[in-house]
Amino acid sequence: MHADIVFTGGTVRTGNADAPVHDALAVTGGRIAALGTAALAARGARTTVVDLAGGVLLPSFGDGHAHPVMGGLGLRGVPVRECTSTDQIVAAVRRWADEHPEAEWITGDGFDPWLAPDGRFDAQWLDTAVPDRPVALRTSDHHTAWVNGEALRRAGYSATTPDPVGGEIVRRAGSTEPLGTLREFGALDPVLDLIPTPSPEAHVDALREAAARFAAAGITWVQDAWVAPHHADVWVTAATTGPGLPVRADLCFILEPDGWRERIARFTADRRRVESGAPGLLTARSVKFFADGVIESGTASLLEPYTDCPHSHGIATWTPEELAEAVTAVDALGFRPHIHAIGDGGIRAALDAVETAARTNGLRDRRPVIAHAELIDPADLPRFAALGVIANLQPLWAQCDPLMSELILPRIGPERGRRQYQIATLLTSGARVAFGSDWPVTAHEPLRGIATAVTRQTPEGTPEDGWLPEERIDTATALAAYSAGCAHQAFEEKEWGVLHPGMRADLVHLAADPVTTAPGDLAHLPVLGTWLAGRRTHGAGVPDHSRAGRR
């Protein structure tokens, strides 16, 4: 039988240590049929031949922690992501408000949290641009919001409003008046809940745009790490109508402390609805927890106090006891816990919760995930491997950029600062590592993350030897964390993640071989093609939907 597709004219890197390199690959029925000489012999009159043009074919990438629906919707507000000062943000807000007089709320996502001293953004700055309509802007980490006076008024925030559970209303110096900066979801949600919800059609369009961007980056599977109840139907609709979706996904239902017992009672039905609605494309195996916040806002949970705030250990979203109870409950239902944990206190609470679930519910292949795992206490590092916990890391964060130098390091000091993003140490310990982007928090392109994991440098190439250079990894290991590592996280390591006959033809074509490319050039390698089970989702002849619905 002749192959449907044969790739030739370049290098095929399989990711398989037993046969790492070939010169051709054949696909039949959406699966890899042959490699090397056997693949070339499978060409027939109806075979599509893809010329790699001296480039390389690899296992496609995954993204083990992202927010596609949220990211797609975020593209539709004030374009603040590229602003480099608060003045630029205020000007962008003014322009957008003038261009959209019908908008009840002015919103935007993705500006850098270090643009104001100590991350303290003033409502009065926004009031100079828009005094009569509410403005709510979220920083790139999504754990802080900058709002104007009208948004504070509508949320009922005043000098007498106490800090809510799980959040902080930042106050003016020497006063109890709200400044205009809100930290963590306990403080954000009363504002965000007032913003009109986009229509179901807008949600679907936003997801399609996000999915097209993932495909263009060589990604065929993504973990949606924040699925609100209505997002499940958005995924199913996008997957089963119109052009469908160019990526597979596992949906992670969000679970928050308030009313969590009532919420998990609906998870099994939600999972059934998703997986029966789009079989083979969507799964719903995971439940998302927030153990804490982020270091730059002083809300990550630390074992020892913050250096710049000795009375504060940050914010633990759950008590350790209740987190363990909730993780055990969802684990008993067959769901995999996916826990955001950044501070060493949050990470310990997450590991303790996973250990409690395993002890209570018995041994099975549960593959729990701790996402971000930024600051791990030395005593807890070996527990990842011992408990079978996947460390889902965002390699693009492993650099000494202004976020690190101006906000994070001053808050935790030099000793703890040297324990951040221990990628190489985790791998050496035997822990499973998968990479993700946390998009739209940071860029979704895996090649940018790979470049940082290999160099530990900023895009400008600093520092010369890399930040914490002992935690650098080689390019092949970084590629595996984005492919085989994500496949393991997806429970699909027998389906994709390496190129071997019988595996699904989930593939990415790069213009040059990343293994032999200079590390400083990795971020700029063009992605020439992406295939999902042999169907081309990006590249020659595929319509570009990456800006569909943009406004």
Tens of pLDDT, residue by residue over 50-106, are: 999 999 999 999 999 999 998 998 888 899 988 999 999 999 999 999 999 999 999
Residue 469 per-residue DSSP state = G
Task: Report the DSSP beta bridge partners of residue 58.
Answer: 508
Secondary structure class of 99 (helix, strand, coil): helix
Assess whether 363 and 444 both reside in one domain: yes
Instruction: Tell me whether residue 202 is in a domain.
Output: no
Name the nearest CA neighbour of 132 among 158, 103, 161, 171: 103
Predicted pLDDT at 181 = 96
Instruction: Tell me whether residue 372 is in a domain.
Output: yes
CATH number of the CATH domain containing 303:
3.20.20.140
Assess whether 274 and 372 both reside in one domain: yes
Instruction: Tell me whether residue 326 is in a domain.
Output: yes
Instruction: Tell me whether residue 157 is in a domain.
Output: yes
Residue 239 per-residue DSSP state = H
CATH number of the CATH domain containing 150:
3.10.310.70
Instruction: Tell me whether residue 490 is in a domain.
Output: yes
**pLDDT band of 544, cuts 50, 70, 90:** low
Q: At residue 343, does pLDDT exceed 70?
A: yes
Q: At residue 370, does pLDDT exceed 60?
A: yes
392-445 per-position pLDDT tens digit: 999 999 999 999 999 999 999 999 999 999 999 999 999 999 999 999 999 999
**Residue 180 parent element (H or E):** strand 178-183
Residue 392 neighbours by CB under 8 Å, 6+ apart:
64, 65, 223, 338, 369, 370, 371, 372, 373, 433, 434, 435, 436, 489
Contact 32, 17 (CB under 8 A): no
Assess whether 102 and 178 both reside in one domain: yes
Instruction: Tell me whether residue 418 is in a domain.
Output: yes
* Mean per-residue pLDDT, 178-196: 92
Predicted pLDDT at 229 = 87
Task: Report the DSSP beta bridge partners of residue 227.
Answer: 253
Share of the chain above pLDDT 70, in %: 98
Assess whether 34 and 86 both reside in one domain: no
Picking from 167, 192, 217, the residue at the C-terminal end of a domain is 192
Assess whether 299 and 430 both reside in one domain: yes
* Mean per-residue pLDDT, 272-291: 97
Exposure class string for 198-218: b at 16+ Cβ within 10 A, else e: eeeebbbbbbbbbbbbbbbbb
**pLDDT band of 551, cuts 50, 70, 90:** very low
* Mean per-residue pLDDT, 518-523: 96
Assess whether 353 and 458 both reside in one domain: yes
Assess whether 362 and 471 both reside in one domain: yes
Q: At residue 165, does pLDDT exceed 90?
A: no
> CA 315 → CA 117, 184, 189, 295, distances in Å?
21, 9, 16, 10
Predicted pLDDT at 143 = 83
Q: At residue 290, does pLDDT exceed 70?
A: yes
Predicted pLDDT at 60 = 98
Q: Structurally, how many domains does the chain consist of?
A: 3
Picking from 145, 177, 192, the residue at the C-terminal end of a domain is 192
Predicted pLDDT at 547 = 41
Predicted pLDDT at 166 = 84
Instruction: Tell me whether residue 529 is in a domain.
Output: no
Residue type, 149: G
Assess whether 145 and 18 both reside in one domain: no
Residue 487: CA count within 13 A, CB half-sphere:
21
**pLDDT band of 299, cuts 50, 70, 90:** very high
The CA angle 267-271-275, to the nearest 5 degrees, is 175
Beta strands in 382-428 (DSSP E): 390-393
Assess whether 34 and 119 both reside in one domain: no
Predicted pLDDT at 548 = 38
456-508 per-position pLDDT tens digit: 999 999 999 999 999 999 999 999 999 999 999 999 999 999 999 999 999 99
Instruction: Tell me whether residue 290 is in a domain.
Output: yes
Assess whether 183 and 107 both reside in one domain: yes
Residue 25 neighbours by CB under 8 Å, 6+ apart:
6, 7, 12, 32, 34, 35, 39, 57, 499, 507
Q: At residue 335, does pLDDT exceed 70?
A: yes
Assess whether 270 and 147 both reside in one domain: no
Task: Report the DSSP beta bridge partners of residue 527.
Answer: 510
214-260 per-position pLDDT tens digit: 999 999 999 999 999 889 999 999 999 999 999 999 999 999 999 99
Picking from 173, 192, 211, the residue at the C-terminal end of a domain is 192
Share of the chain above pLDDT 90, in %: 90
Predicted pLDDT at 74 = 84
Predicted pLDDT at 546 = 46
Q: At residue 521, does pLDDT exceed 50?
A: yes
* Mean per-residue pLDDT, 261-282: 96
Assess whether 182 and 289 both reside in one domain: no
CA distance 210 to 101: 27
Residues spanned by the domain of 444? 252-497
* Mean per-residue pLDDT, 257-268: 95
Q: Report the chain's mean pLDDT, rounded to a whole number.
A: 95
CA distance 517 to 229: 43
